[in-house]
Amino acid sequence: MPDRFGHDGSDPYTRLVTAILAISVGNSRTQLGRFEDGAGELAASEHVANDSLDLIVERVAHHWEALHDEEAVVAIASVNNTVATPLTARIEGRLATSVVRVGHDLSPPISTRLDPQTKTGIDRLLGAVAAYRTLKQACVIVDCGTAVTVDFVDGEGVFHGGAIAPGAQMQLDALSRGTAALPKIEFALPEDDHFGRNTEQAMLQGVTNSIRGLVQRLVERYAEAQGAFPVVVATGGDAGLLLEHEDCVDRIVPDLILIGIAATVAAGLVDESADE
């Protein structure tokens, strides 16, 4: 049965039997994902706010117990080491097992065409791994979270980088912080109107359409560079709100980074097996 990408599951990385508990630590929340059949279909996932390490550890323990597999691998990737470092230590103590740090113990299995010495966010690389290994063609990965990233992977699976911009809430916070009159508001979709008819709605209209316009323009630029329109995959906490009905976006995959973590672990196991 095709998965959320419309893929039939024939990739060799989906056929390892080792269960994987994938953990992605973001700037404001941590995402957990349970893969009961290696890098195959995701069995369960959830998000937990980063303001409670106790709750994150409890939820990790819940998913670990649900795997019922002594050979399961726990893997964590992070763009927020302030949270990830103590979280890793606490998980190892609670589960009595070592945690694989993606980006430290294992590198995402993707080549890049970037400036020398560039340090790219692990989440961007993992999104690229997940998208390309599933689609097997040129693709754009849009991640709408605290920041918005729009990255390009070519038809050979090479990551070219892309663009980074403030996310929706960050833009709203900057408007409030940088002006005397604009209020502090939480991000939500604006009302279904062409015009923002009050200050709050005008701010929401501006932020929403700035991100939608950014994505559309960058997809067009990437298509111009490669001579054809790539498949566009969106992920991140705000992707559904911002991009669900945008014509330039082909698929929204909320668990893309978790899939990338599982694929990285699976690729590492394949390499280790080959070395033996």
The residues annotated as belonging to the active site are 123
Dihedral through CA 125, CA 81, CA 58, CA 258, nearest 10? Answer: 0
The Cα–Cα gap between 276 and 272 comes to 6
How do 158-166 and 147-153 pair as beta strands?
A: antiparallel
* Token code pair at residue 82: 């302030």
Cβ-proximal residues to 114 (8 Å cutoff; 6+ apart), any chain: 120, 159, 160, 161
Q: How many C-beta atoms lie closer than 10 Å to residue 167's C-beta? A: 25
Q: Look at residues 164, 211, 166 and name the one whose alpha carbon lies nearest to residue 189.
A: 211
C-alpha torsion 205→207→213→218, nearest 10: -170
* Distance of alpha carbon 133 from alpha carbon 185, whole angstroms: 39
